[in-house]
Structure 1
Amino acid sequence: MRKKTLFSVLIFCAATLSAQNWEPLFNGKNLKGWTKLNGKAEYKVVDDAIVGISKMGTPNTFLATTKNYGDFILEFDFKVDDGLNSGVQFRSESKKEYQKGRVHGYQFEIDPAKRAWSGGIYDEARRAWLYPLTLNPSARTAFKNNAWNKARIEAVGNSIRTWVNDVPCANIWDDMTPVGFIALQVHAIGKADDEGKTVSWKNIRICTTDVARYQTSDKQDAPEVNLIANTISPREAKEGWALLWDGKTNEGWRGARLNTFPTKGWKMEDGILKVMKSGGAESANGGDIVTTRKYKNFILTVDFKITEGANSGIKYFVSPDLNKGEGSAIGCEFQILDDDKHPDAKLGVKGNRKLGSLYDLIPAPENKPFNKKEFNTATVIVKDNHVEHWLNGVKLIEYDRNTDMFNALVAYSKYKNWPNFGNHVEGNILLQDHGDEVWFKNVKIKELK
């Protein structure tokens, strides 16, 4: 009997301790502890919920906590009318020196539209989308329209993860803002028909004590995106990722026709590897650079940013000693190009020299997710003879090497005279100097078995 009583006491104490680690952010009665920022949309308390009401002629409106939070687990229930976009800010700020006090920072997306990105992470008034649900399509079914939904955000150190109705949605590794307020958003509207629509929140609670103890297991994660430049996160290291460029030195790289790194034509500064402008000729200045190692099966990711009218490329299965004459080293190429301004986009066959294409062989789709003014992520996946090109999380093309179809494509391309083109068991990885300024960072590889 005494053992049973002691056990009951221990269970009660554990439950009490757990409850004490959570505190309500909303008392269910009024908006004490919150303040309105930026816009003029209305917030009121109805049936134990905070209700935001959309209004024409006003920018995004935020109801922000008067306290800031660093590491935390935040939970809340939310419901939104069709046609009204919304979100919940966290680790966010409003400073006079930043766009006259405009709220900026991480946002948990609330999206009842067909796109269905609820639970994705947007960077309000700063970097835009950090984690659209194109990166985790299975999570798009988690949100339920015209119903209450449960949200969870875990922000612990550089790790930020989200859930909707217990489904893992987003997962980023980032260090831009470690502390900030939490805010409920009523988004600006552009149609009078949307005025008066509502978004509601209730059961808003936060845990800020012993947070790591209550973190969800990483076995219940969405795929991770590392936003800290030229680093490998603990999750990436566990999964076998490694940096191909360390963000500072030329270690692991050499000129395609050199035993050392080029002394001109390339620059490393502020965590960016730049091939410099030199008139647009192919490999005529600093020259291409290649990895000192060869690779067989892998996932390669490279963030790149082009300048106006630029041409470059990421090559794989490269044989640096194959081409002894002018021009670039020979290998399969993920084309990097300003399709609008560079003449090469109009050459080749059916657009097979445009951005994302397997250069001069297989064209990428015309409609592809590309932002000319920002960094974009190119991904090449090679598993034995199967190869895929991805751009910003969207698959552009896939093909199989060492097949009659592939060899036929090569036979009608500029590579027809190069023996065994694209069919080698392994090769170097190359970043191309095509005489235009292009920036690279976050060059990473995961070798596959």
Structure 2
Amino acid sequence: MAMKAKIKYQFLAVLAILFCGVQYSNAQKSPDILNVKSADLQKPNGSWDMEKNTLFLTRENPQKSRKNIWLKEEYGDFILELDFKLASGTNSGVFFRTKNTEDPVQTSIEVQIRDDYGKADIDKHFCGSIYEIKEVSENRVKKTGKWNHLKIICNGPIIQTFLNNKMVVNIDLNEWHEAGKNPDGTSNKFKTAYKNMPRKGKIGFQDHGGKIWYKNIKIKQL
């Protein structure tokens, strides 16, 4: 290759790399994606704290002292992604589409977050399950102290959860048309048929007495 042609080729290659870098950077800063920070959280927030991109609860509170933490904005259809790690014995959850933050169990949907590493008997309280509604297809939670990746997709009546990059729950809320009962015949504790649960509301993280860490919390509106 002639020297001038070679220099021109190298110059164009550098421009292409720079252009791709700018495009990628702009995509990462998409206004449609919220990277959750302290300013996005509703106060008071009890024993929760946040440093940089990590939200954490490192105190095992007695029941009367527990306080969930909520995002300020409400969400209906969205993709929520985050990483979490647990202490031994932790039982927690991620609430979404919450109508009443004082009664989230009865007015929201909850994905269970729990120390279930190594357990064989999967039930509707298992890590990654829709609490009381639908169990995960398999146990994918890592041992305590290891980071797990959780993705929740809400699109109308369709709710999907992915744990460590594999779908473990895929449900249509419209199939839950009776209060207190699941389509498989098992009972649940809800006073409202799950198809009638709010389709928009607060996202929150549960203080259920165990230590837990969340980081890289990202929400994309659909």
If the length of structure 2 is used for normalisation, what is the TM-score?
Answer: 0.80
Aligned partner of 2:92 in structure 1 is 312
Distance in 2 of aligned mates of 1:420 and 1:357 = 15
1:267 aligns with 2:69: no
Equivalent residue for 2:214? 440
Over 3 Å counting, the alpha-carbon distance change for 1:367 and 1:13 in structure 2 is same
Task: Call closer, same or farther: CA 1:215–1:354 in 2, change over 3 Å.
Answer: same
Q: Hey, what does 2:26 align to over in structure 1?
A: 234
Distance verdict in 2 for CA 1:382–1:428, change over 3 Å: same
How big is the shift at 1:445? 0.6
Offset from partner CA, 1:199-230 (integer Å, 9 cap, x none): xxxxxxxxxx8864242975xx9xx9xxxxxx
Looking at structure 2, the residues matched to 336 and 379 of structure 1 have their Cα atoms a distance apart, in angstroms, of: 12
Answer yes or no: is the 8 Å Cα contact 1:303–1:441 preserved in 2: yes
1:352 is aligned, of 113, 124, 142, to 124
How far is the alpha carbon of 1:419 from its aligned partner?
6.4
Alignment size in residue pairs? 217
- Corresponding residue of 2:199: 425
Q: Distance in 2 between matches of 1:440 and 1:278?
A: 16
Are 2:52 and 1:277 equivalent residues in the alignment? no
Name the one with the larger helix percent. 2
What whole-Å deviation, never above 9, does each CA across 1:65-124 have from its counterpart, x for those lacking one? xxxxxxxxxxxxxxxxxxxxxxxxxxxxxxxxxxxxxxxxxxxxxxxxxxxxxxxxxxxx
Instruction: Determine if contact 2:173/2:195 at 8 Å carries over to the other structure.
Output: no
Alpha carbons of 1:237 and 1:341: their partners in 2 closer, same or farther (altered >3 Å)? same
Q: Distance in 2 between the 1:316 and 1:365 partners?
A: 21
Instruction: Provide the C-alpha distance between the structure 1 equivalents of 2:212 and 2:131, rounded to a whole number of angstroms.
Output: 17
Aligned to 1:392: 164
Task: Return structure 1 stretches of 4+ with deviation > 6 angstroms.
Answer: none
CA contact (8 A) 2:178 2:194 kept: no
Partner of 1:381: 153
TM-score w.r.t. structure 1 length? 0.42
> How far apart are 1:367 and its partner, in Å?
3.7
Offset, 1:276: 3.1
Alignment partners' CA distance in 1, 2:48 and 2:176: 39
What SS does the corresponding residue of 1:235 show, helix, strand or coil? helix
What per-residue deviation string (whole Å, max 9, x for no partner) do you get for residues 341-394 of structure 1? 99xx97xxx511111111111111334263532221211101111111011221
AA aligned opposite 2:210:
D
Task: Tell me the amino acid that sits aligned with residue 34 of structure 2.
Answer: A
Alignment of 1:89-100 (within 5 A): none
| Structure-1 separation of matches of 2:218 and 2:75 | 13
Match among 313, 316, 332 for residue 109 of structure 2: 332
SS state at 1:265 partner: coil
Question: Take 1:414 and 1:403, find their aligned partners in 2: how far apart are those partners?
Answer: 16
2:187 paired residue number = 412
Q: Deviations over 1:99-158 (max 9, x none)?
A: xxxxxxxxxxxxxxxxxxxxxxxxxxxxxxxxxxxxxxxxxxxxxxxxxxxxxxxxxxxx
Say which one has the larger Rg: 1
Cα-Cα RMSD? 3.4
CA distance in structure 2 between the aligned counterparts of 1:392 and 1:307, rounded to whole angstroms: 18
Give the aligned residue type for 1:433. Answer: D
**1:15 CA drift (Å):** 2.6
| Higher RCO (Cα < 8 Å, 6 or more apart) | 2
Cα offset for 1:447?
0.4
Aligned partners of 1:328 and 1:432 also within 8 Å: no
Q: For 1:406 and 1:389, locate their aligned partners in 2 and report how far apart those are by CA, in whole Å.
A: 23
421 and 278 in structure 1: CA distance in 2 versus 1, 3 angstrom threshold: farther
Instruction: Classify the secondary structure of the residue corresponding to 1:15.
Output: helix
- CA-CA distance at 1:303 after TM superposition: 1.4
Residues 239 and 436 of structure 1, relative CA distance in 2, 3 Å threshold: same
What secondary structure is seen at the aligned counterpart in 1 of 2:15?
helix
Identity of aligned residues (%): 23
1:238 Cα deviation after fit: 3.4
The 3-state SS of whatever aligns with 1:17 is: helix
Contact 1:302 1:378 survives alignment (8 Å) = yes
Q: Provide structure 1 residue ranges, at least 5 long, that are not aligned to the other structure.
A: 1-10, 22-208, 225-232, 255-259
